[in-house]
């Protein structure tokens, strides 16, 4: 009896397995397959490493600069990279270039940055800035790696006398140095250019070349490197200043800056110092500017406000209580001059107020959603 009752149960279990469980498992398999085929590549992390070769401390007008570099795909999958670079002169002229490379996982790509210094070039500090991004299905990624290198363009020095050339061939004393101090402003807004400031001392009895390096790590863990090669005289100090631009693509939060130097490239890096600073997105600023009575035969009032933000203003509202309204109402203001970083926003009233005074407040909202509302204020209307 028990044996005959078990067969219907077994058949029912088989029907449930093939009718319900197996289709569900197949659906899950197909779903996971579609996820990894279509969605995972766009969600997976993208990364890169950028290495830039040696740059002389000083170049001469008319000289050709060839700066070697290498890009490394530090992931296990093929990625398309965009390498944006610009060489900026002492008077802020920029030479822009973009390179595009498709690299399999773990692959390396060597290339050069080339720049011909004009023979009539201005003298002073030049900088090479490099930004590496990746192309994804969802668009171009934010910065994955970056670097800045500083050098000087100056008049060529006279050739050394033969006696000095012979002396320079003799074994030289090892260069020794120390980082006397390192600092940066503790807090920086978007659009600001805080400076990493160092004092390097050559503690040797001869002059030599020092490569000073600042490695910046952002809150997301991405690293950016700024460096400069300098000749420091024997037993002398030299101040080094690295400007760091806080652009809109940089994440908000805490940054660390590790600074060190290499005294003549064959030697090991020095002991390092680390300083810290924060990038903050501040709320917008808004204030009443003026009230203008529109000209012509029709009545109209233009309320103008000065509005600014360290990144971008998203929207501005004029708040007041019209006649007959039980509650204050919010009216969108229009950007009439300037831009969303700093501009004039205007609200136009067509109806004739019943009072010679109007009480109102202003509300500004930035691109992050931060709000700033002014206190209520009352002003006399310039009525005819």
Both 74 and 143 in one domain: the answer is yes
Question: 0.85 cut: is pTM over it?
Answer: no
- The dihedrals phi and psi of 7, each to the nearest 5 degrees, come to -65, -45
Final residue of a domain: which of 280, 297, 316? 280
Both 350 and 203 in one domain: the answer is no
Instruction: State the pLDDT confidence band at 87, using cuts at 50, 70 and 90.
Output: confident
Both 31 and 179 in one domain: the answer is no
Query: Could you tell me the residue range of the domain that residue 344 belongs to?
Result: 285-380
Both 66 and 189 in one domain: the answer is yes
In sequence order, what DSSP letters do the residues of 258-288 get, joined into one string?
A: EEEEEESTTSPPPP-EEEEEEEE-PPPEEEE
- Region 367-379: mean pLDDT is 92
Both 252 and 289 in one domain: the answer is no
Final residue of a domain: which of 233, 248, 280? 280
Q: What is the reported pLDDT for 34? A: 52
pLDDT tens by residue, 31-68: 555 544 444 444 456 788 888 888 888 888 888 888 89
- Top-confidence range, 23-27, 119-123, 318-322, 328-332: 328-332
pLDDT tens by residue, 222-233: 888 899 988 999
Is the per-residue pLDDT at 306 higher than 60? Answer: yes
Whether residue 314 lies inside any domain: the answer is yes
Whether residue 62 lies inside any domain: the answer is yes
Final residue of a domain: which of 250, 280, 310? 280
Both 188 and 312 in one domain: the answer is no
Whether residue 345 lies inside any domain: the answer is yes
Q: Considering its fold, how many domains does the chain have in total?
A: 3
In sequence order, what DSSP letters do the residues of 122-179 get, joined into one string?
A: PPEEEEEEEEEEEEETTEE-S-SEEEEEEEEE-PPPPPPPHHHHHHHTSPPPPP-EEE
Whether residue 255 lies inside any domain: the answer is yes
């Amino acid at each position: 009896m028990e044996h005959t009752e078990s067969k219907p149960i077994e058949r029912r279990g088989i029907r449930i397995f093939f009718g319900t469980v197996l289709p569900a498992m197949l659906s899950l398999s197909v779903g996971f397959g579609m996820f990894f085929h279509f969605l995972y590549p766009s969600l997976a992390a993208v990364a890169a490493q950028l290495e830039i070769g040696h740059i002389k401390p000083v170049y001469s007008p008319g000289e050709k600069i060839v700066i070697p570099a290498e890009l490394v795909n530090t992931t296990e999958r093929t990625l398309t990279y965009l390498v944006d670079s610009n060489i900026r002169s002492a008077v802020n002229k920029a030479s822009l270039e973009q390179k595009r490379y498709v690299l399999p996982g773990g692959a390396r790509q060597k290339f050069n940055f080339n720049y011909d210094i004009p023979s009539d070039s201005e003298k002073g500090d030049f900088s090479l800035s490099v930004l590496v991004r990746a192309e994804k299905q969802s668009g171009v990624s934010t910065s994955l790696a970056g670097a800045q290198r500083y050098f000087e363009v100056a008049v060529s020095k006279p050739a050394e006398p033969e006696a000095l050339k012979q002396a320079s061939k003799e074994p030289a004393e090892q260069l020794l140095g120390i980082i006397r101090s390192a600092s940066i402003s503790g807090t920086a807004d978007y659009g600001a250019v805080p400076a990493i400031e160092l004092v390097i001392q050559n503690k040797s009895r001869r002059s030599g070349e020092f490569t000073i390096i600042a490695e910046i790590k952002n809150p997301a863990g991405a690293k950016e490197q700024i460096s400069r090669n300098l000749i420091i005289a024997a037993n002398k100090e030299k101040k080094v200043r690295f400007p760091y631009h806080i652009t809109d693509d940089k994440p908000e939060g805490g940054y660390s800056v590790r600074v060190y130097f290499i005294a003549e490239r064959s030697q090991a890096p020095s002991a390092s110092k680390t300083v810290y600073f924060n990038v903050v997105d501040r709320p917008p600023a808004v204030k009443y500017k003026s009230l203008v009575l529109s000209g012509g035969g029709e009545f109209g009032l233009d309320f103008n406000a000065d509005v600014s933000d360290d990144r971008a203003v998203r929207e501005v509202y004029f708040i007041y209580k019209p006649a007959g309204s039980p509650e204050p109402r919010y009216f969108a203001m229009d950007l009439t001059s300037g831009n969303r970083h700093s501009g004039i926003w205007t609200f136009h009233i067509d109806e004739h107020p019943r009072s010679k005074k109007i009480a109102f407040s202003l509300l500004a909202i930035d691109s992050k959603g931060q709000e700033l509302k002014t206190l209520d204020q009352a002003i006399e209307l310039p009525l005819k």
